[in-house]
Amino acid sequence: MRSTPRYAIASLLAAALAAPPALAQPPRVSVDSSTHGRVDAIFAQWNRTDSPGCAVGVYRGGVVEYARGYGMANLELGVALSPQSIFDIGSTSKQFTAMSIMLLARDGKLSLDDDIRKFIPELPNYGKTITIRHILTHTSGIRDYLTLWGLAGVDDADLTTDDDALALIVRQRELNFAPGDAWLYSNSGFFLASVIVKRVSGKTLARFAAERIFAPLGMTHTRFNDDHMAIIPNRATGYAPRDSGGWATAMSNFEQTGDGAVQTSIDDMQRWDENFYTGVVGGAETLASMQKTAVLNDGKQQTYALGLMVDRYRGLRSVSHGGSWAGYRAELLRLPDQHLSVACLCNLARTNPSLLARRVAEVYLGDQMTPSDANVTAAGRRTPAAPTSSRTPAAGELTRYAGRYQSPELETIYTLSVENGKLMLRRRRSEAIALVPSATDTFMAEGITYRFVRDKGRVAGFLVDAGRTRNLRFDVVGGR
């Protein structure tokens, strides 16, 4: 836990956010009402008093061209969403973490090519240097700590801290791949960046960003939230749909920052977006560096830069990042050559702000765009075919895999048993899951692969591949 009292941190943060004095709302311009009507139609399904929804902002030429909320910020109190509603923007926060690191680099306090163990020496020595640039471009190979916690049964509503997250990452004995060899999204890198900010500046990321980014830009309603008990005025509640109908609150008690945790509004995001043109914070050189995409060891160019995706959308150059956390979803899409951006912030899980923001951009710039590829998913990748099993092991064979397995890296135990001819897995805070055979000694469930390993012919454990975490080992408890 932190040694600084919460009330002291809150006072410091409030002071930073209070200077300069609150500015007037960003200027708005009027546009043909038919254009607004086309935007409204995109969000019509949430424009109700009995549903959470989204707020949207269209920024053009340095002003807010259109901003509106659709749906409710709080169903219990009957408060509607507006451009001033505060949302958790999830991974859209990563660009603020990257800017914080860049400001420290500009101050001469660190370099993007520094070994991260220079600042976090307790991290394991994996035999290869992991740089700050690696962790800010998802090329470090460090396992994703959110995936690890999910495998351990930790829920986003649990209370977790910087110390908890760092201890989990430090326990990992392998990388997903050698640094720079591949690109794989990992929240661990940006959390570790927050640790670096604190150790280099002597200030938490929340306080550093408040003083160096949010206050200078007049983002008086924006913060990194590192206190799960904080009262955040005008915050929209996060919701998720229930399978049986209706809604459930979906909020997080995580206190670590860096990979997420920024709370902000449509109006404040306009000030940040415009900074990419004015350079008030960081300057032109720093902002250009933030948008320089990663290059792998083999020379392959990526589309991910420093907390930002730099790509093209329907022929137009785009800079963007989405976010997904608890019941919140977010997207900030910038089309810099047209000086037009769309921010879409939602307080309802299962919404897709990335797709919604692009549909809004099409309202304004559709005549300048190339035809879309309807066969590509919203994520820009085709959906792979599900693996099939060529053979189902008999119940007698399945018993060879039954037992208790432990992972020191997760500090958790899985139990496998054979029930009604199926291999069932049980873990903390999870109902039993049926493992489906996909190859010899290999099973799958819920997108996760379990590959059993043997010692002298007997099952000794298994390796878990869960997307952003690879080769996580579980060993038979007590041996066999």
End-to-end CA distance of the chain: 40
CATH code matching the domain that covers 6-368, chosen among 3.30.300.30, 3.40.710.10, 3.40.50.300, 2.60.220.10 = 3.40.710.10
Average pLDDT over residues 58-79: 97
pLDDT-wise least confident of 109-113, 369-373, 377-381: 377-381
Token representation of residue 353: 């702000």
Residues of the chain with CATH 2.40.128.50: 395-476
pLDDT-wise least confident of 43-52, 108-117, 239-248, 393-402: 393-402
Average pLDDT over residues 371-390: 46
The pLDDT confidence band at residue 25, using thresholds 50, 70 and 90, is: low
Phi, psi of 422 (to 5 degrees): -125, 150
Average pLDDT over residues 389-393: 61
Report the pLDDT value the prediction gives residue 12, as an integer from 0 to 100: 35
Q: Which fold, 395-476? A: Lipocalin (2.40.128)
In the predicted model, is pLDDT for residue 171 greater than 70?
A: yes
Residues of the chain with CATH 3.40.710.10: 6-368
Report the pLDDT value the prediction gives residue 374, as an integer from 0 to 100: 47
Torsion of CA 165, 171, 177, 180, to 10 degrees: 60
The C-alpha atoms of residue 226 and residue 164 are separated, in whole angstroms, by 13
Q: Mean pLDDT for the chain?
A: 91
Report the pLDDT value the prediction gives residue 33, as an integer from 0 to 100: 72
Token representation of residue 99: 């800017």
Residue 336: cis peptide before it, omega within 30 degrees of 0? no
Report the pLDDT value the prediction gives residue 379, as an integer from 0 to 100: 37
Average pLDDT over residues 11-29: 45
Strand partners, 310: 319
The pLDDT confidence band at residue 200, using thresholds 50, 70 and 90, is: very high
Average pLDDT over residues 100-126: 98
The C-alpha atoms of residue 70 and residue 56 are separated, in whole angstroms, by 8
Average pLDDT over residues 397-407: 95
User: Is residue 157 within 8 Å of 199, Cβ to Cβ?
Assistant: no
The pLDDT confidence band at residue 430, using thresholds 50, 70 and 90, is: confident
The C-alpha atoms of residue 437 and residue 89 are separated, in whole angstroms, by 38
The pLDDT confidence band at residue 271, using thresholds 50, 70 and 90, is: very high
